[in-house]
Structure 1
Amino acid sequence: MRHLLIILTFCSCGLLFSQSEQLANDYFKRGEFEKALLSYEKLNAKKKSSKYIYKIVATLQQLERYEEARDMILQRMKEINYPALLVELGYNYQLMDSTDLADKYYKEAILKVEEKPSYTYGIAKKFEDHSLLEQALQAYKKGMETNPDFNFNMQMARIYGEQGNIELLFSNYIDYIEIKPNFLSNAKRAFSDFVSENKDNENNLILRKLLLKKLQSSPEPYWYDMLSWLYIQQKEYNKAFTQEKALYRRNQESLSRILDLALATVKEKENEVANSIFQFILDNSQDIETRLTAHQYMLDIEIEKANKEQLDAIDDKFNQLFDQYGKYEQTIALQIAYGNFIAFHKHQPKDASDFLKKSLELQLSVFQEAKVKLKLGDILVFQERFNEALIYYTQIQANLKNSTISQEARFKVAKTSYYKGDFQWAESQLKILKASTSQLIANDALDLKLLISDNKDEDSLQTSLKLYSKADLMSFQNKNEEAIALLDKILTEHKGETIEDQALFMQAKLFEKTNQISKAVDNYEYIITNYRDEILADDAHYYLAELYQTKLDQPEKAKELYEKIIFNHEDSIYFIEARKRFRRLRGDAIN
């Protein structure tokens, strides 16, 4: 019991001491320096340490009591042999405008590095603490000259970055990577602050020159890796692919890096490069799963740009793959993709349903089965066989409770009920999904719930909302022109109602989909002008900016719109991306 009491007393004292230190630090941060000084002096009296002495000195300097600070430093120098105190003494003289004395002690500190290189970091760090960057560099360089086993390239690179000397920043990090290749990922993070998408940016050119020089003198894998990373930042995916191929030929154990690059090009809609990379994967991989992934992405790219005459050829390619790999559990993702293709592109939903029902007869895992049922439900919604679709979605919820795919199925239940015009039931499901673990599902659920709640009470028959949900269904069915016409009816017959901005926005997205860009611009501009305080204002700004940037080649107009999101819509989900794009258009380096 006595031992326990001692331990509790010790812990209690430690906690009080920690709280006292935090209080002193808070006083200092708030500029209450007299209170901070008193607190630090009490702490130092209880437990004398360099930490508190430095705090007392810093506080005295803030109070311009430089002589007292000097005396305290000199007293500490008598007590311990710590050359970093020379820097502190010099800095105190600098604050007293005694620059000659300050320089004297700075030089003396750097000479100590020469006497004993192990002092390097402590002295250089103290210079850095006082923003004496040139002196810090001198100390680090002197330490490395005196003891070649020391490496302070990383610390020096950081200082060069603060000074704006980007070439030396890059070269010091590169020298550090050469000694410690595991630092490569950290270097990429550091470099991302200084390079941009613009390949002609001066910093990009400097880094490229340094890396090519390293490759010529020492063709190590990490230089190919870093150069590939730079080309990806510049969106020069073909050049990145060249580096990745060189890396792969040196070590043919895995194609995962090349597959990651392929997926990045797909995301960026660089379809020609993506096809080249996927073909390389097919030529070099024996792994069935990897090969199937490559085949499926290549088919997706082909489907996206295909006209009606090309659909039969794509159908043949799917069936050739099934002949080659079979229709069993391992090809289930390809089977789902084929069902989607038949239903939504060839408009043969019955054939698609029949095909996927056969897939359900395989020995599938519960997750594979859920994915097939999810697609079957979508195809039934496409056919407006809503009740049958709801059965499949509900089965997924029952079999995989609380999973992401179960939440997705619940959202599809809500969406299907909304298509049917059963807005009350849809809303009840959407309320649950607002707390979904998937942010994407939660956002979609919130958007649909707001649409319903804002418009369901406009009239007792809910006429405009029913027309809108019908247009939404037509969009899902790829009946784009019919959906546009139905939205025109809403905009004519229900003008001024709360649904007007939603109808304008959906129609704008359909105009984009059907390449009627000028009409999409008109709709977005109408929303911005007439609904500037409504929920879709930031969406309209963002998508209009995207059109000006990517379709209309008017970057200045895009920049203005991104800037408006930054200053007028700080809570927008587009805020981060808008800020990134604005800075990119302005020519900044993007992290």
Structure 2
Amino acid sequence: MRQQIIAILLIFTSYFGFTQNSEIQAESYYKKGEFRKALIIYQNLYKEKPRSLKYVDKLIDIHQQLEEYNEVQNIITTQLTKKRDPELVVALGYNYQLIDSLDRANELYEEAVAFAETKPYYVYTIAKKFEDYSLLDHAIRLYEKGKSNTIDRNYNIQLARIYGDLGNVEKMFENYIEYVEYKPNYLSNIKRAISDFISENRENENNLYLRRALLKKIQQQPQPYWYEMLSWLYVQEKAYSKSFIQEKALYKRNPESLDRIIDLANMARKDNDDDTAKDIFNYVLETTQDKTTAVTAHQYILEIDTKNADKKMLIQIDETYQKLFENYGKSAFTIPLQLAYGKFLAFNKKDTKAATDFLKESLKLDIRYYRKAKIKLLLADILVLQEKFNEALIFYSQIQAEMKNSTIAQEARFKVAKTSYYKGDFDWAESQLKILKSSTSQLIANDALDLKLLITDNKFEDSLQTSLKLYAKADLYAFQNKIDDAISLLDIILEEHKTENIIGQALFQQAKLYESKQQYLKAEANYQNILTNYGEGILTDDAKFYLAELYNTHLVKPEEAKELYEKIIFEHQDSIYFIEARKKFRMLRGDSIN
């Protein structure tokens, strides 16, 4: 008996394996357009399993691909004599449509629709069949009927998708909004679904549709999810102050957490909407009872104030830091604030001694290794700022030893390489950068690869490595915020090393420095120089993107920007700028879909 069971199992397994292999082979032929070969296999499979609708559908499809409409009619008619399946009724109607028998096709479509009316639970399967044949008007009719006839089922998602395909964005939004009302927990999914149909341009027609619909909902039925959705729309438009109004309304309804409001403030801050960011952080200070949240808000306000502060303002900011330390103390709890202050002293007040003394005191606190590593990293950066390279390398190396394989250890290794590069020790820098190419942090890996390519491409240009040393020194000046000195050094490279590979890099780096000084016409000239004279180099897509951004953001030349974005789309599909360029191009072209 046991042997018989094993034999049956072996037969079943081999049969299943044979069937699976046959299906794979048939599908392969189908995808290659070898319909006759696929047809033979599916006919054999159908003979073995004549009740399988999967094989029936395949046979119908292949015969229609071969324009053998009579064969299709025979297959479907045979099936319908067994059972009046409404999906097959739709398929038969479509077959009549293909041979221009539209009256007969419409009769069969109406039969399928009537079937769904009597048996509402078939709405989805029949409507889906209409969708498969791109008979979208019939699918819409069925889903709309289903909405009214089956109270326990919802077809807004299906309708929204079809209306989106048809370009009827207003009806699409209407159905997505109805679905949010039906299932508020799906709000995140709905936001993802509609994100492709709106843009940063608040005057975009689709944005206007959605905004009007949401404002109307808030007036009629002020539920939290409408405020959240409207806030999200304003964020897409970078209208952070308007989003803040919605977030405050949400918080007043449910004052449990300020996380959403803090996230909004950070988005505004990163997008350089400093006034709104400060307004939000001040609101957080007025509202929160949590010390950590308050300290973080204070820190970000000070960092925003520091951006364009004059000497008098820097003194006031320093005093504010001191008051905060008096109020909250210097402990593990305030380490982020201490790091911010150390950076402020070194990079803004230019008082590197005070900064290093302060941070060395912070290191004496009873804190975990990670926080100590963050302090050491900043300390080392400040030592590089002072050109005390060997002392900086000691701190970076300590971080690598104490925090092995962590992201901060990889960051420290990259800074070891960068410091060695500043010193002119290009071989050691290159050896460290090779290790970092496989860093778990994509940002570190990309930076490491860029620096390695710079060194590798230029270190053999001359035996003294003069141009590369000048470039590294200019890089150091840029880090030290000595922008004019950096630009002057790059000028020397451009004048005295015209035949060397590094010229393209020097032009690009100098263009970015010009942008930081708001000397946009000089930056434009550099980017144009790269595209005209070094158009085959690795910086081509970088120059095109940065120049496009310059035209789009500062020089108000939207047509020139659009042309450059388009070139990235069609000529640099593997560029890191591809997705952003496509987004900006569509927005400038005025597409309704972002």
TM-score under structure 1 normalisation? 0.97
1:123-175 per-position Cα deviation (integer Å, ceiling 9, x unaligned): 11111110111111111222233333322111111111122211111111111
Whether the aligned pair in 1 keeps the contact of 2:127 and 2:142 (CA below 8 Å) is yes
**In the alignment, does 2:32 pair up with 1:37?**
no
1:510-568 per-position Cα deviation (integer Å, ceiling 9, x unaligned): 11112222221211111111111111222222112111111112212211222222222
Partner residue in 2 for 1:324: 327
Partner residue in 1 for 2:404: 401
How far apart are 1:215 and its partner, in Å? 1.1
**In the alignment, does 2:56 pair up with 1:53?**
yes
Partner residue in 1 for 2:572: 569
**In the alignment, does 2:551 pair up with 1:548?**
yes
1:226 is matched by which residue type in structure 2?
M
How far apart are 1:12 and its partner, in Å? 4.2
Identity %: 60
Partner residue in 2 for 1:341: 344
Whether the aligned pair in 2 keeps the contact of 1:193 and 1:589 (CA below 8 Å) is no
**Among residues 188, 192, 203, which one is paired with 1:189 in the alignment?**
192
**Among residues 101, 104, 113, which one is paired with 1:101 in the alignment?**
104
Partner residue in 1 for 2:268: 265
1:51-79 per-position Cα deviation (integer Å, ceiling 9, x unaligned): 11111111111222212211211221222
- 1: distance between equivalents of 2:295 and 2:226? 31
**In the alignment, does 2:272 pair up with 1:300?**
no
- 1: distance between equivalents of 2:236 and 2:473? 42
Partner residue in 2 for 1:476: 479
How far apart are 1:323 and its partner, in Å? 1.1
How far apart are 1:201 and its partner, in Å? 1.6
- 1: distance between equivalents of 2:295 and 2:21? 60
**In the alignment, does 2:23 pair up with 1:21?**
yes
Superposition RMSD on alpha carbons, in Å? 1.5
Partner residue in 1 for 2:415: 412
Q: How does 1:504-583 map to 2 (within 5 A)?
A: 504-583=507-586
Whether the aligned pair in 2 keeps the contact of 1:215 and 1:224 (CA below 8 Å) is yes
- 1: distance between equivalents of 2:18 and 2:299? 63
- 2: distance between equivalents of 1:185 and 1:538? 34
Partner residue in 1 for 2:86: 83
In structure 2, do the counterparts of structure 1 residues 428 and 146 end up closer, same or farther at CA, with 3 Å as the change threshold? same
How far apart are 1:278 and its partner, in Å? 1.0
**How many positions carry a matched residue from both structures?**
591
Whether the aligned pair in 2 keeps the contact of 1:86 and 1:109 (CA below 8 Å) is yes
2:41 is matched by which residue type in structure 1?
S
- 1: distance between equivalents of 2:155 and 2:138? 14
In structure 2, do the counterparts of structure 1 residues 9 and 323 end up closer, same or farther at CA, with 3 Å as the change threshold? farther
Q: How does 1:117-156 map to 2 (within 5 A)?
A: 117-156=120-159
- 2: distance between equivalents of 1:350 and 1:11? 77
**Among residues 349, 368, 371, which one is paired with 2:371 in the alignment?**
368
- 1: distance between equivalents of 2:572 and 2:155? 44
1:44 is matched by which residue type in structure 2?
Y
- 2: distance between equivalents of 1:253 and 1:276? 20
- 1: distance between equivalents of 2:7 and 2:448? 56
Q: How does 1:110-509 map to 2 (within 5 A)?
A: 110-509=113-512
Between 1:149-158 and 1:339-348, the stretch displaced more is 149-158
- 1: distance between equivalents of 2:270 and 2:341? 21
Between 1:64-73 and 1:333-342, the stretch displaced more is 64-73
Which sections of structure 2, spanning at least 5 residues, go unmatched?
none
How far apart are 1:9 and its partner, in Å? 5.1
SS in 2 for 1:192: helix
1:481-534 per-position Cα deviation (integer Å, ceiling 9, x unaligned): 111112222222222212112222221111111222222121111111111111
How far apart are 1:7 and its partner, in Å? 4.6
Whether the aligned pair in 2 keeps the contact of 1:528 and 1:541 (CA below 8 Å) is yes
How far apart are 1:6 and its partner, in Å? 5.2
How far apart are 1:289 and its partner, in Å? 2.2
Whether the aligned pair in 2 keeps the contact of 1:580 and 1:590 (CA below 8 Å) is no
SS in 1 for 2:307: helix
Whether the aligned pair in 1 keeps the contact of 2:342 and 2:358 (CA below 8 Å) is yes
How far apart are 1:82 and its partner, in Å? 2.3
- 2: distance between equivalents of 1:528 and 1:286? 55
- 2: distance between equivalents of 1:296 and 1:80? 73
In structure 2, do the counterparts of structure 1 residues 589 and 202 end up closer, same or farther at CA, with 3 Å as the change threshold? closer
- 2: distance between equivalents of 1:427 and 1:12? 57
1:476 is matched by which residue type in structure 2?
F
SS in 2 for 1:193: helix
- Could you list the structure 1 runs, at least 4 aligned residues long, displaced by more than 6 angstroms after superposition: none
How far apart are 1:227 and its partner, in Å? 0.8
Between 1:378-387 and 1:317-326, the stretch displaced more is 317-326
- 1: distance between equivalents of 2:85 and 2:172? 30
- 2: distance between equivalents of 1:479 and 1:358? 28
How far apart are 1:5 and its partner, in Å? 6.2
Which sections of structure 1, spanning at least 5 residues, go unmatched?
none
Whether the aligned pair in 1 keeps the contact of 2:205 and 2:592 (CA below 8 Å) is no
